[in-house]
Each structure stands twice: as C-alpha cells, then as structure tokens.
Structure 1
Amino acid sequence: MSEIILGISAYYHDSAAALVVDGEIIAAAHEERFTRKKHDADFPFHAATYVMREAGVSYEDLTAVAFYDKPYLKFERLLETYHAFVPKGLRSFLSAMPVWIKEKLFMKKMLKEELSQLGKGEVPILFPEHHLSHAASAFYPSPYEEAAILTVDGVGEWATTTISHGKGNEIKMLRELNFPHSLGLLYSAFTYYTGFKVNSGEYKLMGLAPYGNPEAEETKIFREKIFSTLIDVREDGSLLLNMDYFQFATGLKMAHDKKWEALFGVPRRKEESELDQTYMNMALAIQQVTEEIVLKLAQTAKRLTGARYLVLAGGVALNCVANGKLLAQQIFEDIWIQPAAGDAGGALGAALAARYLWKKQKRTVVQGKDAMQGAYLGPAFDNRAIYHVARKNQAPYHYFEDFDELTQKVAGILAEGKVVGWFQGRAEFGPRALGNRSILGDPRNPEMQKKMNLKIKYREGFRPFAPSVLEEDVPKYFDLDRKSPYMLLVMPVAEQRLKALPANYASLDLYKRLYCLRSDIPSITHVDFSARIQSVNKETNPRYWQLINAFKQLTGYGIVVNTSFNVRGEPMVLTPDDGYRCFMRTEMDYLVMGNYLFSKEEQPVLKNDSNWQTEFELD
C-alpha cells in the first residue's frame, strides 16, 4: 500500500500544497496561481485539490497531512514578545489577539474543517516546526547523501536561522537563532525603509543594490552605521538586533522611522516615488551586510558538520546575489538551493519530513540529480484546452503539427526584436519562471530591457532580467562552471563579452547607467556586469531547450531573456485563459501556448475584460 502525504503551508503568505507518494514528489503548487491573489495566505484548497487530482488519489487515501509549522509555538512567541516589550505594542496586541483566540489557537480544529472540504476520512495531521520544514525541503530533494543545511528567513515559530546536518534520512539541528534577532527581518526593514513592500519587494531591493556606488562615502557610512548601531554580528554569523530601532516585534510596521532618519540622515522613501542615489547606496550597504553574514553562517555550518555540500532554504535563500558570492568563496564543493525556498516550499518540506522523520523511510539519492524535476510540478494543459480558449475568444491562431517548425518560427520572431509569451507543459513551483510560464526576448537587443519593463511588465525600469541559457553553453557567457537550473545564482558575465564603459559611468544617474551598452548580451547584463542565470537542460525541459537551440542556430547565441509570465502585481499565469488574457493586456507581440501561435496584430479586442491595474494591487 502506497504512502501518500499531503503537505500544506497556509495562513501567513504564499500558501501552497504538495503531494509526496512513496518518496516521489508528484505535484506542488501555489494557491495564488489558482485564485489570482498574489501571495495568497488562505487555506490552499485549490492547490490541494490539484495535487491530489494529479496523483489520482482522494483525501481518504492519504497516510497523513503535514502542516508546515507549529501554531501553538507561534502563539507562545507572540505572547512572550508582547510581555517582554510591555507597554509597547498594545495596538498590535489588540489587533492580533482576537484572530488568534478565535481561529489560530484552534488551528487543528480549523485545519480539520478546511481539510473536510477535500474529502471524508480520519487522516493524522502532523505539525513539524517551521524551520524543520524548510530544512527538509532543502535536504531531502537535494542530490546529496550528506550535507550541511542552512535555513534563514524572517521568523518561524521562534527560530529565524538554523544550521542542521542532513545524512541519509536524518536531519539533526545543531544551532538556532531566535526571534527577534533575524537577518530576514533586518533585510525586510530596509525593504520597508527604501519604499518597497515587505514580503514581496525584497527582490527589488536586491536588484537596486548594484546601482549603489561601493566607493561612495555615503555607502561606507550606511554600512558602518548598520554594524555599529543596528546589529551586533558575531564571528559565527549569529546576530543581535538593536530593538530600539525596530517595530516589527510590537508595532504594525518594520522600523522606527524617526530613529532611522536620525541615524541615516534620510527619510523613509515614499512608495512609487523617484529613486535617488542615496537609496541605491542604502540598498547596496544592506546587501553587502547580508552577504557577509551569510558567508559567516556558511563557514559555521562547515565547521560544525564537516560536510562537503551545503543546501539552503528560507526566504533569504532567494537572495541569489548572496548565493553567487557564497558559491564563489568555495567554502563547500557545491551548494543546492530549494527553488521554492520561501514559505510555499514549507508545504513540500513538511510532507518530506513526515516521510523520513515520522515514518523513518529509507532515502534514495540519484548521484548528480535532484528530485525536483526542474520544479515543473504544477498543472499542465493540453492543446485541446488551448483550442477552447482560442474559440471562446474568437482568437485567430496558427497551429503547428511540427514543433520543430514552431520553434524555428519563434526563434525568427525573437531575433526580430519581438516579445513572446511562452506557455508550455507543467507550471513551475516556486517564485521563478523557468521556461513554462515565461515571457521571452532577444538578449542582444539593447532596447529589450526597457521594452519588457515598461510595456510588457509595467514595472520599475531599473529591474533586471534573467537569461535562460543552454546548459552546455553556460561557460561561454558567464563566469560559472556548473549548472544553475533554478535561477538562484547571480554570477558575472564572461569578461570577453563586456564592452568598454564611459569614464564617468559610476557617476551617471540610474537610467543613463542602465542604458549604457555593457556587453554583447546587454538586456540581461545588470549594471554591475552580473546576471541571474537559468541553465536549461535538454532532458528536463526539452521544448524550452529546443526553442533556445533554434535561436542559437539562427543567431549564434544559445541564450534568451526570460521573465515571468505576468504583469506587475499579478501572480504568474497558470491556465491558457490566464495566458491569453495577460497577452492581450500587454504590448507582447506574440503568444505561444502548446503548438498554437497567436499574433497580437490578428487578435480581436478582448471582451468583458477588467482593468488589470485596478484588479491587481501593485507589489
């Protein structure tokens, strides 16, 4: 009889469900993709329904349901925190307590009620700790029999950072840093202060950091003040926050605005306001501090475990700039990062923890290959479903029996400087589009970054784009000697591809720097000559590989620009309906779904469409 475990993460942000059958990850999905509410925190009813349907099982077939954290421990942390900071935090206490007392304190009962919507039957519900769920999501799918495990995020129940040792089917926790002292919350406080949204804008802060000037006196002062006033960092990477400057423990915002303004000499930036060099320098300063702490933590993990490999999860593991610096330091022979490193991945980790730590099942590792299947774990839609969307919208299309012919056609379209929505196969699990729900462009085109940011994604013009490159061609374009399938490493563009820059480059304003020609692949070369790399494997994603290879045969470049298929504030598209609607709402030139090619010029006006700019809240 099969062992079938449903993993659930919910009630904070990025709810998700995952299903593991006899150790194989059958399916995993974010609730937001179904509900179209970005970072949806509700019980993942749609995601759970999907993963069970994908496996062909019903609720009564489940061996267990594993929830990604321990609610009682979280409640304990809230109570003790409010008590420790009395009389501060009364407003926050009064707003949080009714919800906890009415609902979250009775989480098991509430979960049972939600799960009863999925089917009947008495199924055991397990509650692994939050950081154990993260650790399990990083270690068990990794290609390593043994590894050091580093999990860093905002906060789970109490833990904000843990170092563990994974071996075989066991995970042993070795070190734990507790709330309120948190690298993730420190980074989020700077996200807040630089005018971006907490829990969604951290990647913007990371993308802004390279515009900071590392030689500027202001950057050095910011960095010094972070170390001297805001945090006390120890040699092992543990840290203490000066809570006089933070309000997340007891208040309704991240930082004490007036104290930060007095410390840094600059007010909090208003959301959507113009960015000036000061905030870029601040972004660089906190990014440098984060990288330094992550390196110290990795060195401690190496010392404690003696392991050859490191695996990472937790929200901070999505800081791909820090990941690239960590890899370059060669503290470990290699590192592997869970592609759904945030809370959504906790659903998968909880299910895997149940299998290996509760059921104590044997773990099998395939040398050199992880168990994530390229992170293509979401729903797929066949050509018939795509045809129905075309008929419903009276949308003209071109159907290609021969996929080779389609990829050659699309390669030509990309080479002409057009932008293509690319919708194939199973949706990605995790925050990155990896070639199945992607918007594509020509990396050689100096105007492509501007066009995609302002006319397709409708987002801030400074935001960088990632390259998808044939796995075998990675060293031709980047200073990287291994694969990077999940777009979680930022590495330098190969030196031979760089162009000479004007002498005053560092002093130019943001957009003049941005539009300087920096390399022969300018639309994916960030202002610091780096790129967030996705290597594409012929076996893992044959259709995407085939398209990039067709582009290479035509242009000599085995690389394309890849960004997620959505507009700003919208979750990544999931269904053909979502894909066609997003295509029609933007200035995308072409859409490919399955074997169907849609040209924007041929499409009728989209009927009964809402205004996406009011439908989706800006992230």
Structure 2
Amino acid sequence: MYILGLSAFYHDSAAALLHDGRIVAAAQEERFTRKKHDSGFPGHAVRYCLAEAGITPDQIDHVAFYDKPFLKFERLIETYLAFAPRGFSSFRQAMPLWLGEKFFQRRLLDAELKAIGPDVEWRKKLLFSEHHYSHAASAYFPSPFEDAAVLTMDGVGEWTTSSLAYGRGSDLHIIKEIHFPHSLGLLYSAFTYYTGFKVNSGEYKVMGLAPYGEPKYAKLIRDHLIDIKDDGSFRLDMRYFNYCTGLTMTNARFDALFGGPPRKPEERLDQRHMDLAASIQAVTEEVVLKLARNVQRETGAKNLCLAGGVALNCVANGLLAREGVFENIWVQPAAGDAGGSVGAALAAWHQHYGKPRLPLSGRDHIVGSYLGPSYAQDDIETRLRNAGAIFTTPDDDSLFSTVAADLADGKAVGWFQGRMEFGPRALGNRSILGDPRSPAMQKTLNLKVKYRESFRPFAPAVLREDLSDWFEFGEDSPYMLMVAPIRKERRRQMTAAEEQLFGIDKLNVPRSDIPAVTHVDYSARLQTVHADTNPRFHRLISAFKAATGCPVLVNTSFNVRGEPIVCTPEDAFRCFMGSEIEVLVVGNCLLRKEVQNPALRLDYKNNFELD
C-alpha cells in the first residue's frame, strides 16, 4: 500500500511517501522551486516521490494532509471575532485567501493532484490529520522506541500550540494540549521579529545570538509576557502582542516594555539585542524543561520524542538531554511543518488502518534523513558538462585523500553525495565543509561563502566513535539537533581582556582546539557521523583524521543566505560559481575554482531575498 503525505499552504511545503509503512521518499518543495520556505502545493516533491518509488499516480491508495483546514478556518474566524472590531481591515483583506485555501481546501487539493494524475479520483483518497497529531506521529512512529512520551511545540496548528502525548506500539494518543493564542513558538517568534529577523526563518539566528548576551530581560518576560506554571503550562498576556489580528508580532506596549521599537532588518546588532536573545532563550528552556518533566511524571516513560518547530531549538534539546529527565531522546529531523507530511502519512497507516509499526532494530526509521533525490555518476557528469563545468573523476581512494588534504589546507569544499537530506539541516550529502581547527574559518564561511551574519555558529560533524574525546556528550546526535559543551581539556580559556570584548568581537578569539565550531559559550551543535548511515561522509572525515589527527569537520548547508539547500548537480555548480567555495565534489567529480571558465562566475551575494 502506498500513502502520500502532504504539508502545504503555510510554509515549508513537503511531500512524503510510505510503502507498507516504510518511508521511501520525502522532500521539501523549496528544493525544486528554489524558493526558500515555499508554501505552495508541493507538486515537484510529489512527482519526485512517485519517481523514486517507480509508481504512477493511480497506485497511490491514500493522500494524507497534515492538518484539518476547517478547524484552522474556525480558529481564524473565532480569533477575529474575539478581538473585534480591532483588526477588521486585515480580516477583510485576508478573507478571500482563507476561503480559497482553508474553507475549500479539499477542492484545492483535488485540483492540484489532478494536475499530477488527471484520471485519479483523488477526493475519495483524501484523509486529514490534526496538525499536532501529525507532528507527534512524525516523531514517535519512526523513533527507535517501543514506547515513549511525545512533546510537540510550535507556533500554532488548528487550535493547538503544544501537546503532550504517549505512544506504545502502534497506538499514539494526545494527553494534554495548550491552545492558541498561548504559544511558546509564537512568543519566540515575537522576539525574532523584535530583534529584526524574519519570522519562521530567523529563529535560528536568535538561538545563535543568545550566547553573546546575558538573560537580563528574562524576569521582565516572566513578569509581563508569560505566566509559567510548575507543570510547564503557560498563558501569554495578549496585550503585548499583535499576531492575533494584526500584521506584526508585537505592538507599542511591547516596545515600551523593552525600551524601544523593533530592530530594523540588517541594522547593526548591539548588546541589547543579544541580551534579548539570551533572555527569550532562557525562558524557552524553562518551559521546555517543565513540560518535559510533567509529561514524564504523567506517563512514567523513559523515552521522549520531540517535534514541532520549537524542537529545532537544539540548545534546549541539549539541555534537556543533560538534565537526564529521560533516558533517551529522539528528535524528528524535519521537526517543523515539512515533517508533518511524514506524520500525516504515518498517522494514516497506523491509526486509520491500524497497522503495526515496523520492527525495532535499535535504529530509527528515518534512515539518516537521506530521503531526497540522488544522481548516478554518469548522469552527474552529463549534467556538469552541459553546465560548462571542468572536472576530473578520480577513484575513491584518490578522491578522499585529495579532498582531506584540501580541507587541511584551509579550503572551503562543496560536498554533494547520494540522496538529499529531508529537513532543514545538511547532514553530509549537501554540505559545505571546512577545517574546524582554523581560527578564521567561521568568519570566512559566514562572510565570504554563505554571505550571512558573522555571529552565526557552525556545526561540527564528528565521527561517532570519537565523540566523547572531543565533546561532553555520550549519545548519538545524527541530525544536528543537540548542543553540547566542548570537553574542558580541548578548551582555551579567554583572558580577562578578551572577556571584556563586545559580544561579536569575541568571534575572533580562538576558544578551543576546534575554534571554527566552538561557540562563545564553549558549546557546539553536534552531528555524529555513522559509517552505516553515511559511509562516504564517514570515510572523508576518517581521511581528514588520518591527515590531521582531528576527527571533526565544519559542516554547514550547501547554499548561500536566502537560498534553499542545493538539490541537483546544476544547483551545486551554480552555487560554487556564485560564491567563494574553492573546491566542489559532486559524486566522484572533482572541480577546482581556478580552472573554471571565468565567464560562468555568478554574483550570488545579492541573488536571493535575505532570510
């Protein structure tokens, strides 16, 4: 049986395909359209999933959508009525869109699917899952656990903003919910907006900025914005927010509380912004910990699964792991709305059909999150030649030793291998790599390759077998969703003079043996690399270790700021030619910037809308 899962019409649209309960393909629409966070119907992703499985549209048994549009429409209407007459102007403008995309969504889905399979009776195949149930299903069913508590947190689904659930075997049920407008995700997004970053995109930046500041405003947030109970439940004071009926996240009362208007995009960051980031991060961690402790008390579970956009807060995840509330934690790598496509399909398989889970083997069923398109070597060569690329094709032994030497020489390497990752993180198949020992690598990659803010940290990809020698963390972290401290013996303590530097100026001070992946608080966002899930990436890091003694590489996504992660060999070549990446590897094709046709150089710095 084939079940197609869809998420669409808000942000990060995606499609996923199950065959007899096993995930065979999943991809975000943005990777094909090259439009960051594309919210449109994921037609390209659907076609990819069908092609990957080698099936035609009529072979799809059911299509599962990740939320219930009528409930969402109900919430929108009731919210505006509750705040009337405030917001009537925006309500009047939004109503035609809501009617088309929410109230008549079954008709819209049928029409979009007809473009893919004109003769298929799609309406008879449509199923709808509630938004947070889709999140919970995406986390629990693929997890390596026989039973687990499940915590989901995001902005808002239909009504729910957070849910506590419990899964055992093929049964998963929601225990408690927190409802709109009280939302931890929207509270965090309010500070994303207020500190000058883009909502639903810049939350990562707030998290990355937080260690440069002090949580000086945390008490102000607790006293005025959020009332947190001992069990982690909370209520927001809506007098400070504008997201229910307006076009902004915050209002004048919020501005007055924090001493000024929102920072304008691209405006210089100052210490106040860093302190605001640190403060909302601290409050978020408090809520997450209390919610997790409560669900553990209520269920007695030893295992925890996480999903929803807040589950991408890897700093909170790492704290949760270190606190030991649960013996094991598993986070859905596509924890945001894209992962809802997987959850909706799994919910249909297990709940609608009552099918048992796949046998547990100690590993999860996301297969490293390598669920996207791949390209055969001969196809890669044809595509690159047609793009005008000049390359050599060394054998594996020569390729890995050569690239390891390039990395050790300080070069930025674009690394394109195998199936594309599903979710927001590049995990060694669509990555830009660098030498973590270089004090200049973080700044170089941010400013000259990614064209983004210099403060944003990079992740270390470390051989799993060497993890405990470099980081204070003993568990798997294959999806780059846990933050942990650098081991003390690997650190370099800052001098008193260095400690007095303005936040971002601390970037230039080496803090460990691997300064390019060591944040200012001596933390790092870990990716453990396993030989069984990604043998080529594991082999490259092993070659780098053999050359340098260091089993770690800088790993960041293969894209520039505002661009989706590359999908095709042509995408990789364009990004290579439009940035200061010096070496590109696509399959076994090895490209060097200095031998390429200079007429093919691109200006990627201003090619995409800023994120």
* TM-score where L is the length of structure 1: 0.97
Aligned 8 A contact 2:65 2:126 in 1: yes
Instruction: Kindly indicate whether residue 230 of structure 2 is the aligned counterpart of residue 235 of structure 1.
Output: yes
Query: Which residue, 503, 508, 511 being the options, matches 1:515?
Result: 508
Aligned 8 A contact 1:169 1:362 in 2: yes
Alignment of 1:170-185 (within 5 A): 170-185=171-186
The CA deviation at 1:611 is 4.4
Instruction: Kindly indicate whether residue 152 of structure 2 is the aligned counterpart of residue 158 of structure 1.
Output: no
Query: Which residue, 22, 25, 28 being the options, matches 1:24?
Result: 22
Report SS of the residue matched to 1:399. coil
Alignment of 1:65-104 (within 5 A): 65-104=63-102
- CA–CA distance in structure 2, aligned partners of residues 337 and 503 of structure 1: 38
* Alpha carbons of structure 1 residues 614 and 551: separation in structure 2 relative to 1, 3 Å: closer
- CA–CA distance in structure 2, aligned partners of residues 47 and 419 of structure 1: 30
Aligned residues: CA RMSD = 1.1
- Paired residue for 2:269? 275
- Paired residue for 1:596? 589
Report SS of the residue matched to 2:420. coil
* Alpha carbons of structure 1 residues 487 and 269: separation in structure 2 relative to 1, 3 Å: same
Report SS of the residue matched to 1:324. helix
Instruction: Kindly indicate whether residue 22 of structure 2 is the aligned counterpart of residue 13 of structure 1.
Output: no
Mind listing any 5+ residue stretches in structure 2 that lack a counterpart?
none
Alignment of 1:427-438 (within 5 A): 427-438=420-431
Report SS of the residue matched to 1:386. helix
- CA–CA distance in structure 2, aligned partners of residues 267 and 410 of structure 1: 48
- Paired residue for 1:188? 189
Aligned 8 A contact 2:293 2:325 in 1: yes
Report SS of the residue matched to 2:104. helix
- CA–CA distance in structure 2, aligned partners of residues 495 and 68 of structure 1: 44
Aligned 8 A contact 1:150 1:311 in 2: yes
- Paired residue for 1:128? 129
- CA–CA distance in structure 2, aligned partners of residues 512 and 489 of structure 1: 25
The CA deviation at 1:9 is 0.3
The CA deviation at 1:506 is 3.7
Report SS of the residue matched to 1:612. coil
Alignment of 1:335-484 (within 5 A): 335-400=329-394, 402-484=395-477
- CA–CA distance in structure 1, aligned partners of residues 445 and 50 of structure 2: 37
* Alpha carbons of structure 1 residues 325 and 588: separation in structure 2 relative to 1, 3 Å: same
The CA deviation at 1:268 is 1.3
- Paired residue for 1:262? 256
Q: Partner letter of residue 391 of structure 1?
A: R
- CA–CA distance in structure 1, aligned partners of residues 487 and 606 of structure 2: 42
- Paired residue for 2:551? 558
The CA deviation at 1:614 is 4.5
Moved more, 54-63 or 178-187: 54-63
The CA deviation at 1:125 is 0.3
The CA deviation at 1:389 is 2.8
Query: Which residue, 514, 531, 534 being the options, matches 2:527?
Result: 534
Report SS of the residue matched to 1:570. coil
The CA deviation at 1:391 is 1.6
Instruction: Kindly indicate whether residue 571 of structure 2 is the aligned counterpart of residue 570 of structure 1.
Output: no
- CA–CA distance in structure 2, aligned partners of residues 136 and 562 of structure 1: 29
- CA–CA distance in structure 2, aligned partners of residues 570 and 333 of structure 1: 38
Aligned 8 A contact 2:387 2:570 in 1: no
Q: Partner letter of residue 241 of structure 1?
A: L
Q: Partner letter of residue 404 of structure 1?
A: D
Q: Partner letter of residue 351 of structure 2?
A: L
Q: Partner letter of residue 7 of structure 1?
A: G
Moved more, 121-130 or 571-580: 121-130
Moved more, 598-607 or 523-532: 598-607
- CA–CA distance in structure 2, aligned partners of residues 548 and 79 of structure 1: 53
Over the matched positions of the two proteins, sequence identity in percent amounts to 57
Instruction: Kindly indicate whether residue 290 of structure 2 is the aligned counterpart of residue 296 of structure 1.
Output: yes
The CA deviation at 1:360 is 0.2
| Runs of 4 or more consecutive aligned structure 1 residues displaced over 4 Å after TM superposition | none
Q: Partner letter of residue 144 of structure 1?
A: F
Report SS of the residue matched to 2:496. coil
- CA–CA distance in structure 2, aligned partners of residues 310 and 270 of structure 1: 39
The CA deviation at 1:453 is 0.5
Mind listing any 5+ residue stretches in structure 1 that lack a counterpart?
214-218
- CA–CA distance in structure 2, aligned partners of residues 228 and 105 of structure 1: 39
Moved more, 300-309 or 12-21: 300-309
- Paired residue for 2:483? 490
Q: Partner letter of residue 269 of structure 2?
A: L
Q: Partner letter of residue 122 of structure 1?
A: E
- Paired residue for 2:316? 322
> How many positions carry a matched residue from both structures?
608
- Paired residue for 2:42? 44
* Alpha carbons of structure 1 residues 53 and 321: separation in structure 2 relative to 1, 3 Å: same
- CA–CA distance in structure 1, aligned partners of residues 18 and 402 of structure 2: 39
- CA–CA distance in structure 2, aligned partners of residues 250 and 612 of structure 1: 37
- Paired residue for 1:251? 246
The CA deviation at 1:610 is 6.5
Aligned 8 A contact 1:421 1:592 in 2: yes
Aligned 8 A contact 1:499 1:517 in 2: yes
Query: Which residue, 271, 275, 280 being the options, matches 1:286?
Result: 280
The CA deviation at 1:390 is 2.7
Q: Partner letter of residue 23 of structure 1?
A: G
- CA–CA distance in structure 2, aligned partners of residues 585 and 389 of structure 1: 18
The CA deviation at 1:384 is 1.6
The CA deviation at 1:482 is 1.2
* Alpha carbons of structure 1 residues 103 and 212: separation in structure 2 relative to 1, 3 Å: closer
Report SS of the residue matched to 2:598. coil
- Paired residue for 1:167? 168
Aligned 8 A contact 1:165 1:173 in 2: yes
Instruction: Kindly indicate whether residue 104 of structure 2 is the aligned counterpart of residue 110 of structure 1.
Output: no
Q: Partner letter of residue 248 of structure 1?
A: Y
The CA deviation at 1:615 is 3.6
Instruction: Kindly indicate whether residue 571 of structure 2 is the aligned counterpart of residue 617 of structure 1.
Output: no
Q: Partner letter of residue 84 of structure 1?
A: A
1:160-194 CA-to-partner distances (Å, cap 9, x unmatched) read: 00000001111111000000000000000000000
1:388-421 CA-to-partner distances (Å, cap 9, x unmatched) read: 2332233221111x21210000000000001100
Q: Partner letter of residue 120 of structure 2?
A: G
* TM-score where L is the length of structure 2: 0.98
- CA–CA distance in structure 1, aligned partners of residues 465 and 438 of structure 2: 23
1:109-165 CA-to-partner distances (Å, cap 9, x unmatched) read: 110010111212224100000000000000000000100000000000000000000
- CA–CA distance in structure 1, aligned partners of residues 205 and 278 of structure 2: 12
- Paired residue for 2:212? 211
The CA deviation at 1:505 is 3.6
